[in-house]
Amino acid sequence: MAGRPLPMAAAPTLPQGLSLTHYQDAEVASQFSMLARLGADVLTQFDPDVLSKRFRRYSGWALHLVATQDAKPVAFKLGHAEGESAFYSWLGGVAPDWRGHGLAAALMQAQHEWARAQGYRKVTTRTRKDNARMAQINLAAGFVETGLLTKDDGRVMRCFVKSLV
């Protein structure tokens, strides 16, 4: 697994034996197969075709990946540029056996610190209206809910924004 450890002012706390690696742009695309497998393992409504289409449509990708000592991925946070000053935190997940250990919050912290260091002024995200746990994590991380969005397929999404300045 390529990538590089992520230098940060205040590294997120991870359980012993886990490491955090960062990938950017073309490196993210090189991790597509692994992301497709991990996404299918951790997300109930994961579609690798959506992942593939989104990779082609957007640029400025960043992936933060938590792996075990034996290099097995157990959690990820994926996002991309949304204009020059905003970063969109698109997708993330934690393997069922690793939930409840603070990995989602640690990945979010790492992603936001990375985005701030890149000069982004805010992070935006959306979550399904019925995903109360993710909404709680977003609010605890300093996001503000900005409204609801109904997607073409009828799903209602809660929209959030967080200032990085």
Provide DSSP, 99-158: TTSSHHHHHHHHHHHHHHHTT--EEEEEEETT-HHHHHHHHHTT-EEEEEEE-TTS-EEE
- Does 19 reside within a domain? yes
Domain assignment of residue 74, given as a range: 4-123
- Does 37 reside within a domain? yes
pTM of the predicted protein model? 0.86
What is the domain-level CATH number for residue 79? 3.40.630.30
The tally of domains found in the chain comes to: 1
- Does 145 reside within a domain? no
- Does 62 reside within a domain? yes
- Does 151 reside within a domain? no
The tokens for 81 are: 């540029």
Q: What is the pLDDT of residue 1?
A: 44
- Does 158 reside within a domain? no
- Does 138 reside within a domain? no
pLDDT in tens, the chain (165 residues): 455 555 544 557 788 888 888 898 888 888 888 888 899 888 888 888 888 888 888 888 888 888 776 888 999 999 999 989 999 999 999 999 888 888 888 899 999 999 999 999 999 999 999 999 889 989 999 999 999 999 999 999 999 999 999
- Does 160 reside within a domain? no
Q: Which of 75, 48, 53, 51 is nearest to 64 (CA)?
A: 75
